[in-house]
């Protein structure tokens, strides 16, 4: 990135469109906006302007956001013009004559990071928000973008500084006898409270993951119990292959479903049975893996198909009797018939309730693997501090490590690698 130059982008998506939003950021924004819109509008107010310097190209609304109170922290502007491919092209060409260049993916957000407007955790929240498909994902992403985790981390970092100050004082003055060797009584309490706070934030990582990635629901059982038919009926479309021939579903197929604002991934697995076929055996091996790691297993049994041994799972288990039009099966928690359209609403409702309990009522504070790893490092370092009391060098060093883990999480340390990967998934103009 060439810092300090002025960037522009069509931020509103593909043309033609009702409205196109052109975004600018950098030191040349004032002169460039004056050039194409006649004069600078009052800061943070929309003004209707003829757009075009030598000839009128369009008319539209322009807004100017002077530094530092802008998204990037630099001078920024937005032009809302008609979403015409030719019009936008002509406006960008005029802006280019003023020394502006097209932005790279995520470059506006990168500038916001570099100017301290957003930290790494908040940028990840923004990325999640842009990619949110379900209501739960939107809530969780917005909470992160809004700085809920950042605010917690700030408190923890302050506490770490307090704790360190006491230790560092003992390092500096222990020879001179100015500081009593014993730590003040509240120090231990503060350390314990901090460990507790971080540990309880980490407890939400599972629900956070489930909201971001979806609840994995394995539909499993013997061949021909009706897995594909049930997935099709649930998705109300022909996504999975339905066939009379046993053993068609060899790959693990994922069907995404939004139930009550929560993402579910229904896994249509190979039917389990003894087989001579190498390909089918591979499908069965994958099915067993998927069952083991699923959040929920729907174990399907049909009246016209002998049951098979059920593999173990860490997920919640529901026994679903299929083909209820043919009769019940032993031990069913629920029964459905895709042919007679029975029991599907109850099954969806049951999944929805399960989803609410797995995802939690409140947006999770911690939802990325990166969060979990950083907080685990911080906790390890704090445990080391506890063991090192008396050895002030070591205690100070482990407290520094705990701080570094939190700094890394918000991007104060080693942010480049994470940012590069993150912005690869951002769109131009964000």
End-to-end CA distance of the chain: 15
161: which 2 tokens?
């500084």
Site for ligand GDP contains 228 (CB under 6 A): yes
Distance CA 364, CA 209 (A): 9
The residue count for binding ligand GDP (CB under 6 A) is 19
Question: How many residues are recorded in the chain?
Answer: 430
Site for ligand GDP contains 243 (CB under 6 A): yes
Which of 249, 262, 322, 398 contacts Zn ion by CB under 5 A? 249
Site for Zn ion contains 150 (CB under 5 A): no
Q: Which does 223 bind (CB under 5 to 8 A by kind): Zn ion, ligand GDP, none?
A: ligand GDP
- Which of these, 105, 104, 117, lies nearest to 67 by C-alpha position? 117
Known binding residue 229? Answer is yes
Please compute Rg for the chain using Cα positions. Answer: 29
Are 414 and 400 in contact by the 8 Å Cβ rule? The answer is no
Q: How far is the CB of 227 from ligand GDP (least distance, A)?
A: 3
Site for Zn ion contains 98 (CB under 5 A): no
Tell me which stretch binds Zn ion (CB under 5 A): 196-204, 219-227, 339-347, 417-425: 219-227
Which of 159, 339, 373, 401 contacts ligand GDP by CB under 6 A? 339
Are 111 and 42 in contact by the 8 Å Cβ rule? The answer is no
Q: How far is the CB of 411 from ligand GDP (least distance, A)?
A: 46
Are 295 and 284 in contact by the 8 Å Cβ rule? The answer is no
Which of 228, 332, 350, 398 contacts Zn ion by CB under 5 A? 228
304: which 2 tokens?
């016209």
Which of 12, 229, 313, 367 contacts ligand GDP by CB under 6 A? 229
Query: x/- contact string, 50-89, with ligand GDP (CB under 6 A)?
Result: ----------------------------------------
Instruction: Report strand pairing: 58-65 vs 76-83.
Output: antiparallel
Which of 175, 176, 181, 244 contacts ligand GDP by CB under 6 A? 244
Site for ligand GDP contains 338 (CB under 6 A): yes
Known binding residue 337? Answer is no
Dihedral Cα 293, 298, 303, 309, nearest 10 deg: 20
Question: CB neighbours of 325 closer than 8 A, spacing ≥ 6?
Answer: 337, 339, 340, 342
Query: x/- contact string, 168-207, with ligand GDP (CB under 6 A)?
Result: ----------------------------------------
Cβ-based neighbour number of residue 333 at 10 Å: 13
91 preceded by a cis bond (ω within 30 of 0): no
Known binding residue 201? Answer is no
Site for ligand GDP contains 346 (CB under 6 A): no
Q: Which residues bind ligand GDP (CB under 6 A)?
A: 223-229, 242-244, 249, 271, 322-323, 325-326, 337-339
């Amino acid at each position: 990135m060439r810092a300090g130059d002025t960037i522009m982008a069509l931020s509103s998506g593909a043309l033609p469109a009702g409205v196109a939003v052109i975004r600018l950021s950098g030191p040349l924004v004032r002169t460039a906006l004056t050039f194409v819109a006649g004069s600078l509008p009052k800061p943070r107010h929309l003004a209707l302007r003829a757009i075009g310097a030598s000839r009128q190209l369009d008319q539209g609304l322009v807004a100017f956001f002077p530094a530092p109170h802008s998204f990037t922290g630099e001078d920024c502007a937005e032009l809302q013009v008609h979403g015409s491919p030719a019009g936008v092209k002509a406006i960008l060409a005029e802006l280019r004559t003023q020394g502006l260049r097209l932005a790279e993916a995520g470059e506006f957000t990168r500038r916001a990071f570099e100017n301290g407007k957003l930290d790494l955790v908040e940028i990840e929240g923004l990325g999640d928000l842009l990619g949110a498909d379900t209501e739960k994902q939107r809530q969780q992403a917005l909470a992160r973008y809004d700085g809920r985790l950042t605010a917690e981390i700030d408190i923890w970092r302050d506490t770490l500084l307090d704790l360190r100050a006491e230790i560092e004082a003992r390092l500096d003055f222990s020879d001179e006898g100015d500081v009593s060797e014993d730590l003040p009584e509240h120090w231990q309490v503060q350390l314990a409270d901090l460990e507790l706070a971080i540990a309880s934030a980490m407890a939400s990582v599972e629900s956070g993951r489930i909201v971001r990635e979806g609840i994995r629901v394995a539909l499993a059982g013997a061949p021909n119990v009706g897995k594909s038919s049930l997935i099709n009926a649930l998705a109300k479309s022909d996504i999975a292959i339905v066939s009379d021939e046993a053993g068609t579903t060899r790959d693990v197929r994922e069907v995404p479903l939004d139930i009550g604002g929560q993402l579910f991934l229904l896994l249509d697995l190979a039917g389990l049975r003894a087989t001579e076929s190498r390909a089918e055996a591979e499908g069965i091996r994958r099915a067993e893996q998927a069952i083991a790691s699923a959040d929920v297993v729907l174990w399907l049994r049909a009246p016209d198909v002998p049951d098979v041994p059920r593999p173990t799972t860490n997920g919640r288990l529901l026994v679903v009797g299929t083909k209820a039009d043919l009769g019940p099966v032993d031990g069913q928690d629920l029964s459905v018939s895709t042919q007679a359209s029975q029991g599907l609403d109850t099954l969806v409702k049951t999944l929805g309730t399960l989803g609410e309990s797995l995802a939690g009522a409140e947006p999770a504070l911690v939802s990325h693997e990166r969060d979990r790893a950083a907080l685990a490092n911080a906790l390890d370092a704090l445990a080391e501090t506890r063991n090192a009391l008396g050895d002030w060098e070591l205690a100070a060093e482990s407290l520094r490590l705990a701080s570094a883990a939190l700094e890394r999480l918000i991007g104060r340390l080693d942010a480049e690698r994470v940012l590069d990967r993150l912005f690869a998934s951002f769109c131009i103009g964000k």
